[in-house]
Amino acid sequence: MIKLTPISFLTAAALGLLGIAAQAEETIKIGLAVPLTGDFAPYNEVAGAQCMVKMINNAGGIKGKNIELLIQDTGSDTQAAISLTERFLSNGIVALGTIPFSDTMIPVAQIAAANGVTVVQSQSTQVEMHTGLVDNFLTNVAPDPFTATAAANYALSQGVKNIAIFTSDKGGSWSARTPEWFAEVIEANGGNLQARLNYTGGTMDWSPQIAELKALQPAPDAVYISWAMPDIGILIRQMRSAGLEAWVVGSDGFDDPSLDALAEQDPSILDRVFLAPWLLPFRAAGSRSFKPIARRSGSR
Q: What is the distance between the alpha carbons of residues 100 and 104, in angstroms, rounded to a whole number?
A: 7
Using CA atoms, how far residue 209 sits from 204, 214, 237, 248, in Å, is: 12, 9, 13, 14
Residue 293 lies in a domain: no
Q: Would 297 be classed as within a structural domain? A: no
In this predicted model, what pLDDT tens digit does every residue of 156-210 receive, in sequence order?
999 999 999 999 998 889 999 999 999 999 999 999 999 999 999 889 999 999 9
208 and 231 share one domain? yes
* Structural domain of 95: 6-138
Range in 138-142, 226-230, 240-244, 294-298 with the lowest mean pLDDT: 294-298
Tens of pLDDT, residue by residue over 41-89, are 877 889 999 999 999 999 999 999 999 999 999 998 999 999 999 999 9
136-140, 177-181, 293-297: segment of lowest average pLDDT: 293-297
Inside any domain, residue 299: no
Q: Are residues 199 and 127 in the same domain?
A: no
158 plus 249 within the same structural domain: yes
User: Which residues on neighbouring strands pair with residue 250, listed in sequence order?
Assistant: 275
CB 143 within 8 A of CB 125: yes
pLDDT band at 281 (very low <50, low <70, confident <90, very high): very low
Q: Are residues 130 and 257 in the same domain?
A: no
Whether 162 and 270 map to the same domain: the answer is: yes
Tell which residue, 197, 266, 267, 195, has the closest CA to residue 235: 197
Helix 102-113 and helix 78-90, axial crossing angle in degrees, nearest 10? 20
Residue 132 neighbours by CB under 8 Å, 6+ apart: none
Check which CATH number belongs to the domain holding 189 and give it: 3.40.50.2300
Q: Is residue 164 located within the same domain as residue 102?
A: no
Do 105 and 162 fall within a single domain?
Answer: no
- What's the total number of domains in the chain? 2
Question: Does residue 15 sit within a domain?
Answer: yes
How crowded is the C-beta side of 114, counted as CA atoms within 13 Å? 9
